[in-house]
Amino acid sequence: MNALLKLEDVNAFYGSAHILHGMNLTVNPGERVALIGRNGVGKTTVVNTILGLATMRGGRIGLGAKTLPRPRPYLAAQNGVVVVPQGRRIVANLTVEENLQLGAAVGRKGPWSVPEIYKLFPILQERAHTPGTALSGGQQQMLAVGRALMANPALILLDEPTEGLAPVIVDQLGVIFNQVAAQGTALLLIEQNMSLVVRVAERYCAMAKGSVVAQGKVENTKQSLHDLEAHVMV
């Protein structure tokens, strides 16, 4: 069985700044993996390297059975890997429903459609014809997740999805992420909120200085939460 995502000894740069140092990461079909670590260790650069927004110089990125010689955003989407980006990036001049339809542009077949997204997020149906940027922060995050699902991905990369959100919204998103995973979609959760990580992830990879320095199973226990928080403080 091929991994959905595999980074092998990846080095990545922004200009002359060397950010990822021999980065190794694997996400298998249906798996829920958390990528954790303090700010500045390179977590978002992992996403940007997969999309070709950071420059890869050495190493290998595999998506399923394919190797990406030159990563690009459309190549990731065509191969079933989509991103819910940090900051959400809702298109300002489009309605909620039009933002959702953008996610379907890649043309992958699968179970997710606008009616199915509305079942998952009823508030989006209520506000279907509202400009996407007129939604609250939590509703915009739901829209960003829904837009990603419209691509019918095998794997979603969730980059700091709870940043700036109230705890009650974080709890709601945790339930949603588990529902999405239960339908077979793999998740790579890049997150600072360790209480969400223990509710959603089954495995963690802890980063420091541009590479993975520890990994293991996640258990929904206070001890697991304490251990994960210790990794983030390193």
Number of domain units in the chain: 1
Q: What is the pLDDT of residues 123-163, one digit of tens each?
A: 999 999 999 989 998 899 999 999 999 999 999 999 999 88
Q: Is residue 30 predicted with pLDDT exceeding 70?
A: yes
Among residues 100, 125, 104, 120, the alpha carbon closest in space to that of 181 is found at 120
d(Cα 18, Cα 41) in Å, to the nearest integer? 11
Q: Is residue 68 predicted with pLDDT exceeding 90?
A: no
Is the pTM here over 0.85, yes or no? yes
CA-based angle 25:195:7, to the nearest 5?
5
Residue with structure tokens 């829209």? 143
Residue with structure tokens 């940007």? 48
Q: Confidence band (pLDDT; 50, 70, 90) for 64?
A: confident
The pair of structure tokens assigned to 208 is 């420091």
| Mean pLDDT along residues 212-216 | 93
Q: What is the pLDDT of residues 163-194, one digit of tens each?
A: 888 899 899 999 999 999 999 999 999 998 89
Q: Is residue 205 predicted with pLDDT exceeding 70?
A: yes
Find the CATH number of the domain harbouring 170.
3.40.50.300
The separation between CA 169 and the C-alpha centre of its own chain, rounded to angstroms, equals 17
Q: For position 165, what pLDDT does the model report?
A: 86
Domain carrying residue 104: 5-233
32-36 and 203-208 beta bridge pairing: parallel
Q: DSSP code of 194?
A: H
Q: For position 234, what pLDDT does the model report?
A: 61
| Mean pLDDT along residues 218-234 | 77
* Residue % of the chain over a pLDDT of 90: 68
Q: Is residue 45 predicted with pLDDT exceeding 70?
A: yes
